[in-house]
Amino acid sequence: MAEDAPIKEKAPPISLAPKLSPTEWGVKAFFLLCAVSALGSMFLIMVFLFMEAGGLFFMSEEGPGVSLTEFFLSLDWYPTYPDPSYGSLALVLGSLSVTMVSIVLATPFGIGLAIYLSSVAGPKVREWLKPAVELLASIPSVILGFVGMVAVAPFMQNVLDLPTGLNVLNASIFLAIMATPTIASLGDDALSAVSQTVKDGSYALGATRWETISRVMLPASLSGLSTAVILGLGRALGETIVVLMVAGGSAQVPHSLFDSVRPLTSTLAAEMGETAIGSPHYHALFALGALLFVLTLGFNLLAFHLARRWGRSSS
Amino acid sequence: MLEARKGHTHLDRYRREGIVLFFIRLTAVLALAIMASILLYLLVNGIPALSISFLTEFPRDSMMAGGVLPAIVGTVVLALGALLTAIPLGFGAAIYLAEYAKPGYLVSFIRLGVSNLAGVPSVVFGLFGLSLFVTTFGFGRSILSGSLTLGLLILPTVTAAAEEALRQTPQSFREAALALGASRFQAIRQVVLPAALPGMLTGSILALGRAAGETAPIMFTASAAFTLAMPDSVFREVMALSTHIYNLATNSTHIEETRPQQFGSALVLLVLVLGLSMFAIIIRAKLRRGRKW
Amino acid sequence: MVEGDQVIISAREVDFYYGDFQALKNISIDILKDEVTAMIGPSGCGKSTFLKLLNRMNDFVPGARLAGEIFIGGESIYGPDADPVVIRRRVGMVFQRPNPFAKSIYDNICYGPRLIGIKKTSELDELTEKALRAAALWDEVKDKLNKSALDLSGGQQQRVCIARALALEPDILLMDEPTSALDPIATAKVEEWIKDAGMSIVIVTHNMQQAARISDKTAYFFLGELIEFGPTKELFTRPKETKTENYITGRFG
């Protein structure tokens, strides 16, 4: 066939990657634009939060700007006083207290539920329980806050003989109820991803069900479970209406579970409606918002990082 | 020695097994019990407040009488507006991620954006909406501002659900269409999308429920404590069930006297949101079972 | 080139790479019009890769690169002016697993014709009947054209896919192990169809008996190289290459 053809250098291989027609290219660009919109929103949120927050720290007609030291380290949040002070520390501690207590409650509950869903429940039960957990997650927070306020607070106040039922513990209970489905559902995904062959290996060596769960499945899905807990934590930290209605609302450093606190989120929700746009108070609230944003972003990035590592190691 | 141990710890191991599994089962019972008691509590206290007039009238006498019709309408309008915002962006993003994107920095960056947007606290969305839509764009407190804010809030949910549905349509559909001489976009539009659409919409219904239940994002962007008339344009502020409950329970001058209204509104909101979620979950299960590929 | 019979596909010194991996090495082959050509060889030998080069389906594989030339009906399908979409409309393909769309039988068959702008119902009806008859499926499905194609049996689904490809009246039909997901009865029906089709068909199969039953010519691939190509009877009874002999005797026992 080709024997008598003149010997010539063969052309190097060409790439076959499809070339898009202008229409196709336009369509792809449009979808890319949509995909970037989430990223763009994140960016815009940051820009607006920090821009508005910046107003607190710079000189204005209203007077000299607030110092960063005061904002971060002062316990005094008195934005409406004639001589206002804008310390966020008590609010941050308020947020951290309810978040930490709620996560202490929600972690065993959520992980237990995840274990039950992934390895204990039969397929029939699982088929019903998983949607039920999803429904629990979809109860609006204002309703949980309402129940905490109207039902649990008076009960707590009477039974424990407290000055108020609107306190760290009550808020934490309802935050835990909100965080549990997140932890349970993500935890179930992580546990279910452990391969059957590994489990069979453990059973074949004479391990019981719990021994298999605790010594094989939990270690294997540890980073997935951590991701679940961290995302639950982020959700509790950012939750607004429950703490606004149930945490009591006093801007103080809590000393016990029964003190009332004023977390960052509830401060924002309670005060933003009553402040003049552009006032120092308005800017101070945006500064709180920016702080909250950075805190939750930190948790989310950590969870994203863990999830990626988990994705890599399990595949 | 080893031989003896193999059988020895038998009883102990099973006793421990029993105790641990008991606690694990307890978590499931507890979860169901919590949900049941919340539902029951609201049903018992809310049903007496419900009536036809509660659903069809405006509030009267400082909210102590009358109904919550404008709040129901406001909630529905805001949630639908949010969906209208989120669906084009979310479906478009999902199509890019599932059909066009090749693994790389851009895609990880986009995914990072989507997952972090999902973690932004709802009250921060409220601040953002206030600053951008209400003030900078000058939309004021309005249906438009509230819908856009809620739309961004549910954008990650809509995107994730749509991408999942697209990924579940088999690769062989795309191959077959391409082999018949379809362009990439033709294959997506004519073959992949029709197959994935039910799943994509189901995910959106779940997001719709979430938008209807949110409070913080609309507090400063859309909601009014009371309106005299139904909204006649997207630049009007509206009442919403969630903020109505919050306002009556914490801010109003007659907190105790409006309890029945509070319970009634809570029950209506709960039925609306759980109804949507349940509807979506059932449809999703049906779709999964009925899928032939 | 071969004299007399008409060559429809002609590959010249084709090298093909997935990234850095060379999947095909210096393949040259002439495939004749209206013949059934089978491609056999152990998995990973490059037979499916070669098949997918013929309708440019490998374009979608990341890192795909090609050297050499392939002509279909005398035109270079990897030349600068070649349009992959047009090529795919002229070269039909049937896949390993039946892959009808989640649409009615009718809409499946009309998919290709509609892509090229045929909209009139009467024309589409006619094409559908013709394609289904050609795929020997018309009598079985003529009363349920509006039913989902996914409700059919596996063998019927595969014949819907054949009809769907035929509706564009392609010059060549490529079949990538078209019976590997089918039961013996359905396989027999598809094989029977291939034998009677009277069109240019290139079929990849891992089943040597199938190649022997249905093809006029057989090509044996091994490790990305075309080892032997010739009339099926000769290749199976008097293989020229030891490698071919080892393969077919190993399988035939």
Evaluate if residue A1 carries a pLDDT over 80: no
Q: Which of C85, C87, C99 is opposite residue B176, by nearest beta carbon?
A: C99
Q: Chain A: give the shortest CA distance to residue B271, in Å.
A: 10
What residue type is C141 in one-letter code? V
Size of interface A-C (CB pairs under 8 A): 37
The answer to the question of residue C126 being in a domain is no
Contact B27, A107 (CB under 8 A): no
Element (H, E) at B103: none
Residue with tokens 């996560």: A103
Residues in A touching C78 (Cβ below 8 Å): 14, 16
Kindly determine whether residue B212 and residue A142, on different chains, have CB atoms separated by under 8 Å. no
Q: Which of C56, C60, C67 is opposite residue A11, by nearest beta carbon?
A: C67
Q: Which of residues 12-41 of A touch C (CB under 8 A)?
A: 12-18
- Report residue B220: phi and psi, to 5°: -110, 5
Contact A311, A235 (CB under 8 A): no
Kindly determine whether residue A268 and residue B126, on different chains, have CB atoms separated by under 8 Å. yes
Asked casually if ipTM beats, i.e. exceeds, 0.85, the reply is yes
Whole-number pLDDT of residue B5: 62
The answer to the question of residue C16 being in a domain is yes
CATH of the domain at A227: 1.10.3720.10
DSSP A11: P
Residues in C touching A23 (Cβ below 8 Å): none
Q: Which of A48, A144, A304 is opposite residue B128, by nearest beta carbon?
A: A48
What residue type is B17 in one-letter code? E
User: Mean of the per-residue pLDDT values for chain A?
Assistant: 88
Task: List, run by run, the mean pLDDT of 10-residue segments along chain B (293 residues).
Answer: 60 80 93 94 94 89 84 96 96 95 88 90 95 93 96 96 94 92 91 93 93 94 87 92 94 85 95 94 87 71
Kindly determine whether residue B176 and residue C95, on different chains, have CB atoms separated by under 8 Å. yes
The answer to the question of residue A68 being in a domain is no
CATH number of B52-290: 1.10.3720.10
Q: Which two tokens stand for residue B175?
A: 């191959």
Size of interface B-C (CB pairs under 8 A): 66
Query: CB-based contact (8 Å) between C103 and chain B?
Result: yes
pLDDT single digits (tens) A172-198: 999 999 999 999 999 999 999 888 888
Q: Which of C12, C68, C84 is opposite residue A18, by nearest beta carbon?
A: C84
Beta bridge partners, B60, equal B65
**What is d(CA A84, CA B172) in angstroms, rounded to the nearest whole number?**
66
Burial of A163 (0-12, 13-18, 19+ CB in 10 A): exposed
The answer to the question of residue A30 being in a domain is no
Q: Give residue limits of the domains in chain B.
A: 10-49, 52-290
Q: Chain B: give the shortest CA distance to residue C225, in Å.
A: 25
Burial of A6 (0-12, 13-18, 19+ CB in 10 A): exposed
Residues in B touching C102 (Cβ below 8 Å): 173, 194-195, 292-293
Pure H helices in C198-231: 208-214
Lowest mean pLDDT among A123-127, A212-216, B287-291: B287-291
Contact C155, C190 (CB under 8 A): yes
The answer to the question of residue C80 being in a domain is yes
In A, minimum Cα distance to C12 occurs at: A2
Evaluate if residue C101 carries a pLDDT over 50: yes
| Probe site for chain B from C77, C111, C147 (most B CB atoms < 10 A) | C111
The answer to the question of residue A89 being in a domain is yes
Lowest mean pLDDT among A21-25, A43-47, B91-95, C138-142: A21-25
Q: Chain A: give the shortest CA distance to residue B53, in Å.
A: 22
- Report residue A264: phi and psi, to 5°: -50, -50
| Beta strand segments in C84-129, E | 91-94
Kindly determine whether residue A2 and residue C12, on different chains, have CB atoms separated by under 8 Å. yes
Residue C173 confidence class, pLDDT cut points 50, 70, 90: very high
pLDDT single digits (tens) A65-81: 788 888 888 888 988 88
| Probe site for chain B from A146, A208, A245, A294 (most B CB atoms < 10 A) | A146
Chains that touch A (3 or more CB pairs under 8 A): B, C
Number of domains chain C contains: 1
Whole-number pLDDT of residue A315: 37
Kindly determine whether residue B206 and residue A149, on different chains, have CB atoms separated by under 8 Å. no
Name every residue whose Cβ is closer than 8 Å to that of residue B10 and which is 6 or more positions away in sequence.
none
The answer to the question of residue A20 being in a domain is no
Contact B78, B147 (CB under 8 A): yes
**What is d(CA A65, CA A53) in angstroms, rounded to the nearest whole number?**
11
Whole-number pLDDT of residue A307: 78
Q: Residue A206's domain spans which residues?
A: 85-281+300-314
Query: CB-based contact (8 Å) between C97 and chain B?
Result: yes
CATH of the domain at C80: 3.40.50.300
Evaluate if residue A5 carries a pLDDT over 70: no
The torsion region of residue C176 among left (phi > 0), alpha (psi -120 to 50) and beta comes to: beta
pLDDT single digits (tens) A256-304: 899 999 999 999 999 988 888 888 899 999 999 999 999 999 988 888 8
Q: Chain A: give the shortest CA distance to residue C57, in Å.
A: 10
| Probe site for chain A from C2, C22, C59, C69 (most A CB atoms < 10 A) | C59
pLDDT single digits (tens) C190-221: 899 999 888 999 999 988 899 999 999 999 99
The answer to the question of residue A1 being in a domain is no
Q: What percent of chain A has pLDDT over 90?
A: 56
Kindly determine whether residue A208 and residue B17, on different chains, have CB atoms separated by under 8 Å. yes
What residue type is A312 in one-letter code? R
Q: Which two tokens stand for residue B244?
A: 């109505």
**What is d(CA A283, CA A296) in angstroms, rounded to the nearest whole number?**
20
Element (H, E) at C47: helix C47-53
Residue A199 confidence class, pLDDT cut points 50, 70, 90: confident
Contact C232, C203 (CB under 8 A): no
Whole-number pLDDT of residue C246: 87
0.90 exceeded by pTM: no
Residues in C touching B191 (Cβ below 8 Å): 101, 103, 111
Q: Residue C72's domain spans which residues?
A: 7-98+170-252
Query: CB-based contact (8 Å) between C172 and chain B?
Result: no
Residues in B touching C127 (Cβ below 8 Å): none
Residues in C touching B185 (Cβ below 8 Å): none
Residues in C touching B190 (Cβ below 8 Å): 111
Angle B33-B37-B43 (CA atoms, 0-180°, nearest 5)? 145
The answer to the question of residue C81 being in a domain is yes
Evaluate if residue A112 carries a pLDDT over 80: yes
Q: Which of C103, C111, C150 is opposite residue B180, by nearest beta carbon?
A: C111
Number of domains chain A contains: 1
Q: Which of C13, C28, C64 is opposite residue A16, by nearest beta carbon?
A: C64
Q: Chain C: give the shortest CA distance to residue A19, in Å.
A: 9
